[in-house]
């Protein structure tokens, strides 16, 4: 693509049901990687674990990127979403003018900031969807919803206590979603090229984890697990939770909700 050869296609939409659906259809129709759909508004935005994803028109960066990561083993498919999240953490700090280290990753891929009372506030969510082909990842769609130019006065009352936006973190400044997209794509390109060469930024991923060394409560399908998160495993992508002195690796697929307590 002109100006950014890393991209095969980049389209902006005023309103769509979900950018995930758009990119999935492009990939199904044979579009090369990396194809990117961005929307001002989604009428049926999708979150993890079958949840929805809400944002008023123009308030969030709503973006999905489609990959055909030939050679990425299925056991490492999670690294695509982690890589996209790491690139977004850096992009957000740059564009919103936040100090380095102002944002964290909350396993598996939420972007969070410290709230005034020590509570973690969600700034962005990441949804990774993959289709396996043989032992490799056939295609993958990574979607990010970043609360960008969204004043707290407009937060939905039911979510307000647990969320924030770049607008708020930047002291009420306007946050340019196009600049954020552009910065993210530049950082993503370098990280994806490294991933293609088999280099995943395990150190960066581990050091951004907010759960490490903290007590977590995990809602699993048929139990609630409370324990100390001792770290993350850069091989499997699991969260390591120590309960009764035994470290247990938790796969993101098993988790309905993870809270830091």
CA-nearest of 112, 78, 99 to 214 is 112
* Cα–Cα distance, 206 to 233 (Å, whole number): 8
Min dist. Cβ of residue 177 to ligand BTN (A):
12
For residue 18, state whether it binds ligand BTN (rule: CB under 6 A).
yes
147 or 183: CB nearest ligand BTN: 147
Longest dimension (CA), the chain: 56
23, containing H or E segment:
helix 19-28
Minimum separation from the CB atom of position 128 to ligand BTN (A): 9
Applying CB under 6 A, does 238 fall inside the site for ligand BTN?
Answer: no
Site string for ligand BTN, 44-63 (x = CB under 6 A): -xxxx--x-x--------xx
227 CB-contact burial (10 Å; exposed 0-12 / middle 13-18 / buried 19+): buried
For the bound state, the minimum distance from the C-beta of residue 242 to ligand BTN, rounded and expressed in Å, comes to 25
Bridge partners of 258, per DSSP, are 218
How near is the Cβ of 17 to ligand BTN at its closest, in Å? 8
Rank residues 48 and 177 by Cβ distance to ligand BTN and give the closer one: 48
Q: Is 22 or 235 the residue whose CB approaches ligand BTN more closely?
A: 22
Q: Give the nearest distance from C-beta 63 to ligand BTN in angstroms.
A: 6
Spatial separation of the C-alpha atoms in residues 141 and 151, rounded to whole Å: 29
Among all chains, which residue has been given the structure tokens 């370098």? Answer: 190
Dump the DSSP string for 37-87.
EEEEEESS-B-GGG-B----TTTEEEEEEEE--TT-BGGGTHHHHHHHHHH
Residue 165 within binding range of ligand BTN, rule CB under 6 A = no
Residue placing its CB nearer to ligand BTN in the complex, 111 or 229: 111
- Give me the least distance between CB of 45 and ligand BTN, in Å please: 4
Q: Report if residue 108 touches ligand BTN, rule: CB under 6 A.
A: no
85 binds ligand BTN (CB under 6 A): no
Three-state DSSP class for 113? Answer: strand
By the criterion CB under 6 A, which residues form the site for ligand BTN? 18-20, 42, 45-48, 51, 53, 62-64, 110, 125-127, 143-145
């Amino acid at each position: 693509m002109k100006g950014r050869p890393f991209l095969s296609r980049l389209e902006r939409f005023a309103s769509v049901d979900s950018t995930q659906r758009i990119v999935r259809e492009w990939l199904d129709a044979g579009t090369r990687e990396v194809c990117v759909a961005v929307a001002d508004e989604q009428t049926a935005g999708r979150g993890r674990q079958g949840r929805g994803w809400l944002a008023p028109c123009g308030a969030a960066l709503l973006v999905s990127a489609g990959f055909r990561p030939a050679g990425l083993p299925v056991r490492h498919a999670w690294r695509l979403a982690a890589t996209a999240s790491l690139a977004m953490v850096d992009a957000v700090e740059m564009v919103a003018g936040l100090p380095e280290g102002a944002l964290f990753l909350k396993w598996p891929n939420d972007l969070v900031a410290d709230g005034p009372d020590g509570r973690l506030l969600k700034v962005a969510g990441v949804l990774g969807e993959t289709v396996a082909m043989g032992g490799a990842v056939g295609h993958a769609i990574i979607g990010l919803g970043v609360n960008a130019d969204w004043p707290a006065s407009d937060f939905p009352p039911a979510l307000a206590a647990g969320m924030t936006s770049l607008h708020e973190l930047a002291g009420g400044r306007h946050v340019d979603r196009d600049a954020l997209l552009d910065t993210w794509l530049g950082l993503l390109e370098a990280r994806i090229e490294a991933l293609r060469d088999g280099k995943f930024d395990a150190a960066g991923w581990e050091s951004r984890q907010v759960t490490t060394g903290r007590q977590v409560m995990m809602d699993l399908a048929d139990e609630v697990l409370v324990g100390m998160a001792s770290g993350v495993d850069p091989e499997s992508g699991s969260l390591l939770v120590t309960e009764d002195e035994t470290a247990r690796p938790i796969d993101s697929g098993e988790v309905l909700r993870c809270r830091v307590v």
